[in-house]
Amino acid sequence: MPLLFALGLFLMQPASPDSIKTGDMPQIDVIGQPARLVRIPGSATVIRSEALSRTNPVSGNEVLRKVAGIHAVEEEGLGMRANIGIRGLDPDRSRTILVMEDGVPVSLAPYGEPELYYSPSIDRMVGVEILKGSGSILFGPQTIGGVVNYITANPPAVPTTEAVIRGGQNAFFTARFSHGATNGNTGYQVNYLRKSGNGVGIIDYGIHDLSAKFKHVLAANSMLGVKVGVYDENSNSTYVGITQDMYDSGDFDFTHPSPDDHLSVRRLSLSATHDHFFNPDVRLRSTAFGYTTTRDWSRQEFRTSPRAQDTYIRTLGSTVNRLYFFDRFGNRNRSFEVAGFEPRLSVSADLFGMSHELDLGARVLYERAFEKRIDGTSRRPTSGNLREDEIRTGRALSGYIQNRTNVTERLSVTPGVRVEYFDYERDILRLGNAEAALTKSDRTMAVIPGIGLNHTLGTSGAVFAGIHRGFAPPRVKDAISNNGISQELDAEVSWNTEFGYRGEILRGVSLELTGFWMDFQNQVIPVSESSGGAGQPGVGLVNGGDTRHLGIETAFSALWTDIAGSGFGADLASSLTYTRATFSSDRFVADGATTVNVKGKRLPYAPELLLSTTFDVIAPRGIRAGFTLTHTGKQFGDVLNRAIPTTDGQEGPLAATTLIDLNLSWMPPMANRVTVSAAVKNLTDERYIASRRPQGIRVGLPRFVTAGIEVRI
């Protein structure tokens, strides 16, 4: 109430011409300027553009693996479909985290189908924000694992043109061209990205990615920002992996098992954000956004063991285990529509001898999914008989309030609460090649509280602690069965606790140390095809019961410049994560004719140890060389924690791996707007199993060499 009273007083004050910074772009920030990190009551990371350019990434996963607590699993080696897990959460399609681009969600449907079949291209990013603490409740609906926000370039103050071209093995090609400027009250930034390859890993692909940002200052206290995006991808991505025997033979690592599979992803997006400053301490930021995603995937059907009654048109594999392919293609064609509006009010006020920073807002969101299953043949793979047809509709309303109270100059307390309401409906028009008329609706509601504390130490350090409620709604097509019956599939809920320290312990040397504990009352376990399950209709996810995640994260960085006046410098950054993620209550799982209680067993794809270390050497005359070592500990591909893999390769252990990347760059002194670079991924040519999902073993990329040039004008 005191803050609401103060708000009324502040709204009556006039805005000054300096209330708005014309260089800022109106958009939702998760963290904002890196200098704000010391004030955040929880674990957070900002990856800057310099770190992105030094990595020369083939996949965005290379960048995210450097962040403590993040486990990124490769599917095709290019990061086109990100599988990101945080603190032991299942990384399948990144459904347990909230992924955004410039503050706008990018998943297929944020509530009803939060999977990432489209992932923002790291090549056009200038930064990434990662938030894992109680501040997650300002964003939603997923508040379990954390928030990953990709940041694109804003309109520059002066005319700027950039061209980046990279090439590599297997016709690997990336080209990015951008231009931006500000003229008077209007600024713009246009970016075009082209990516293609032929047999990178096993994938042939082509991507066109066009985006643009526009900024217009309407008045001294008002500014509008608009962003548009067009993304088009075609590839022969597949769910099919190789069997265990095929992997053991070493003859099929990069043979595409199902080369006629075809995936088309098209995405159109539009967002507009308006900033209105009532005065220097009160801002209303209103964002409207909408996007459509079309994901058509044609996949040839197969078996890993033959049956006498079946007819196959081709086989692949060794004499022990083979893949048997039918003359049948399943076209899983899906399209999604998402629209939302979110006003967010930010107020700074001094009351009762304490300063306050209040954020409150609401969001209304509408989403709709159209899904068809068309059965084709090898002669007409993308057309045939309509087997399934349905529409899923969701309407969501959320509200949130969070107040950062500076109790003293050093101690701040940040309580907050978020409320989520989601009403959804599944309308089944056709099922099993027969007409159907099944409609069922349901709803879920949750109150998501959280509180964080931050105590600064000196000018560059702080200790922090926080606890918040984790929440994620169930997917609509799992919560309502094909028979139009509510499955009573619970939302994922948890209590997430963390405490830690971040700061500069010596000049140029920074450390962050965080302990965390996540206690799930119900973690939903995926058994969908994408997660390696059977993928039966209506059985995509199941209530998995209680799970517990305990661990510790460390992030260390040190920068030494001009060592002893030699002109040489060094930059060291390292992160280490230990996580113990286990089933903490009874859960019985069928294993053939027996039933196994998995209580105490580790969760799938939750390695106990993650390590990333990057060491860069800066030499005179614009030369830079860096090594990155990435270690992923042993993990299991199934809830039974099988020590011996299954013959189809889909379940079993994944051995620990250690990968080394080399990056070289040169900025010629006579042409300081030009950078020439080269990179070697997997320098030691390590052979390893990257994943046993979705349907068999995926072998990690072998040694891979790229080179490129970047020109700025």
8 A C-beta contact, residue 3 and residue 358? yes
Residue with tokens 């010596």: 506
DSSP output for 561-576? -SGGGSS-EEEEEEEE
* pLDDT for 587: 83
Neighbour-count burial for 362-376, b at 16+ CB within 10 Å, e otherwise: ebebebbbebbbbbb
Q: pLDDT tens digit string along 115-166? A: 999 999 999 999 999 998 888 889 989 888 899 999 999 999 999 999 999 9
* pLDDT for 588: 84
* pLDDT for 172: 96
Q: pLDDT tens digit string along 508-528? A: 899 999 999 999 876 665 554
* Mean pLDDT calculated for residue range 447-472: 91
* pLDDT band with cut points at 50, 70 and 90 for residue 575: very high
Please give the Cα distance from 660 to 467 (Å, whole number).
36
* pLDDT band with cut points at 50, 70 and 90 for residue 485: low
What is the C-alpha R_g of the chain? 25
* pLDDT for 6: 44
Q: Kindly tell me if the per-residue pLDDT of 683 is higher than 50.
A: yes
Task: Among 104-108, 375-379, 486-490, 641-645, name the one with the lowest average pLDDT.
Answer: 486-490
Percent of the chain at pLDDT > 70 equals 91
- How far, in whole angstroms, is CA 342 from its chain's centroid? 21
DSSP 14: P
* pLDDT for 19: 40
* pLDDT for 96: 87
Percent of the chain at pLDDT > 90 equals 72
Give me the half-sphere count of Cα atoms (radius 13 Å) on the Cβ side of residue 211.
25
Please give the Cα distance from 343 to 275 (Å, whole number).
10
Domain ranges of the chain: 2-387+424-444+452-712
* pLDDT for 145: 87
* pLDDT for 524: 60
* pLDDT for 522: 67
Task: Among 221-225, 329-333, 375-379, 592-596, name the one with the lowest average pLDDT.
Answer: 592-596
Q: Kindly tell me if the per-residue pLDDT of 20 is higher than 70.
A: no
Q: Kindly tell me if the per-residue pLDDT of 465 is higher than 70.
A: yes
8 A C-beta contact, residue 182 and residue 155? yes
* Mean pLDDT calculated for residue range 524-546: 52
Task: Among 336-345, 480-489, 500-509, 581-590, name the one with the lowest average pLDDT.
Answer: 480-489
* pLDDT for 669: 86
* pLDDT for 591: 86
The more confidently predicted of residues 590 and 221 is: 221
| CATH no., domain 2-387+424-444+452-712 | 2.40.170.20
* pLDDT for 487: 61
Distances in whole angstroms, Cα of residue 341 to Cα of each of 27, 170, 286, 412, 445: 13, 44, 7, 31, 19
8 A C-beta contact, residue 77 and residue 200? yes
Q: pLDDT tens digit string along 432-445? A: 899 998 898 989 99
* pLDDT band with cut points at 50, 70 and 90 for residue 23: low
* pLDDT band with cut points at 50, 70 and 90 for residue 10: very low
Please give the Cα distance from 191 to 177 (Å, whole number).
6
* pLDDT for 232: 98
Q: Kindly tell me if the per-residue pLDDT of 469 is higher than 60.
A: yes
- What is the residue-averaged pLDDT of the chain? 90
* pLDDT for 525: 57
Amino acid at 139: F
Q: Kindly tell me if the per-residue pLDDT of 14 is higher than 50.
A: no
DSSP 29: -
